[in-house]
Structure 1
Amino acid sequence: MSNLGLKIVEHIDRLPQSLIDGYKGLATANIADVMGRFRAMDYTVKSMNRLGVHLVGSALTIRIHPTDNLMIHKAMDLAKPGDVLVIDAFGGKENAVVGELICHYAKIKGIAGIVTSSPIRDTNAIYNMDIPVFARGATPRGPLKEGSGEINTTISCGLVPVNPGDIIVGDDDGVVVVPKSEAVSVLEETKKIQEKEQSIIDGMYESRSWERKWVDETLYAKGYSPVKG
């Protein structure tokens, strides 16, 4: 009998915690730029907490039916401290798949955060909690707990592929997914970008100007010519 639709991979490879921690404080916008402006989740996957949230952790992937969250409960039992539950509910919009009780238990387990492209509920409680939760809005309609689903397989969340152990970073702009195989180089390049941007900002305020030559150079290279008269 096939185990598709009821598949649980209990043990996955995670990157060194020191590498994952390197992403703390890095902006999702800069990380996305390094990855060619790809690997950023759809704009509907937004923080459900107070402003200033920052999520960093290792992806524990979950695929569920849009109306059922049994596999989320199983995944929490398998999760290690620092994991991020990334939930693929096939873009379901009718049922909340995460609520306050799940968030409290996740916090107790040391789970770093929760990301889903479906709705949640108990938003007031979650808004005031210190566990990052990213979701597609809210609804009071809860889920069933019947099965089926998969844990730690390749999923899609927010229109981005996610593999177990990928690095998840979230802030007030949204969520990005850093593939495990690219984690070192993306980290190095993101730090360079943030240092460069800070240098530009500092220079702006020191000189009260911003070098704009590149704007016209880019336009002229594309064939632009001024319209006179």
Structure 2
Amino acid sequence: MTIRNTPLPEDLYRRLSDLPAPNVGDVLDRLYVLEAAVSAVWKGARVVGPAFTVMTAGGDNKYIHEAIDTAQPGDVLVIDGQAATHRALLGDLMARRAQARGLAGFVVDGAIRDAADLEELAFPTWARAVTPAGPYRNGPGHLQVPVSVGRVVVNPGDVIVGDDDGVAVIQRHRLEEIVAAAEEKAASEARARSQIAAL
């Protein structure tokens, strides 16, 4: 039986949605930030939501299809594709299905395709590469297990914060603490900008 994620409390979701990923990463001691190779597929993408994790063989998307059908609205599919970039794990049609089911976005340690279509859909997506080469659909794979994405361990239900600068991962039990600290970091930077502007 697949583990279901607990939705984010509305207040914490709203507050996180106002925070840049760099501020979140800073208060995570800069340790839970995906490496730069996993980057936004289109400019302006932003996501906040609990991680629904997928481990799959490189270049194979059988379990990603299952995840789209299993995850709950608001979940972010976080896909450990073994950092393989020779075949795209997903594209336009899978994004349309995910969007129709209310999923919040994709974070893929692997390749995707149909980048322009994903931008037109405004479906938030981060990936290691873009390639036209399609995937296999044989497996193996697992859902809702700890995965390694962009050199960061992500557990089911961890909170994903992504924007143009990249993706930060908040361990669920630290959520309130990290949101409060990131808000203070953002406020401190706003004060610094005001001081610089007054010079």
TM-score range, shorter chain: over 0.9
What is the match of residue 174 of structure 1? Answer: 166
1:60–1:85 Cα contact (<8 Å) kept: yes
Select which of 141, 148, 151 maps to 2:143. Answer: 151
What is the match of residue 46 of structure 1? Answer: 39
Cα distance in 2 between the residues matched to 1:17 and 1:152: 23
Instruction: Determine if the alignment matches structure 1 residue 195 to structure 2 residue 187.
Output: yes
> TM-score, structure 2 length as denominator?
0.95
2:8–2:49 Cα contact (<8 Å) kept: no
What is the match of residue 219 of structure 1? Answer: none
What is the match of residue 91 of structure 1? Answer: 83
Shift, 1:20, TM fit: 2.9
Shift, 1:21, TM fit: 3.1
Which amino acid in structure 2 is aligned with residue 9 of structure 1?
T
Q: Mapping of 1:1-229 within 5 angstroms?
A: 9-49=2-42, 51-206=43-198, 208=199
Shift, 1:12, TM fit: 3.7
Measured against aligned partners, the alpha-carbon deviations of 1:140-162 in whole angstroms (never above 9, x if no partner) come to 11111112100001111010000
Shift, 1:117, TM fit: 1.4
Cα distance in 1 between the residues matched to 2:137 and 2:13: 33
Shift, 1:131, TM fit: 1.1
1:46–1:134 Cα contact (<8 Å) kept: yes
1:15–1:180 Cα contact (<8 Å) kept: no
| % identical aligned pairs | 34
Count of equivalent residues: 199
> TM-score, structure 1 length as denominator?
0.83
Q: Which has the higher strand share?
A: 2
Measured against aligned partners, the alpha-carbon deviations of 1:101-148 in whole angstroms (never above 9, x if no partner) come to 011111111111000011101112112221100001211111111121
Larger radius of gyration: 1
Shift, 1:11, TM fit: 2.8
Q: Which runs of 5+ in 2 are unaligned?
A: none
1:153–1:164 Cα contact (<8 Å) kept: yes
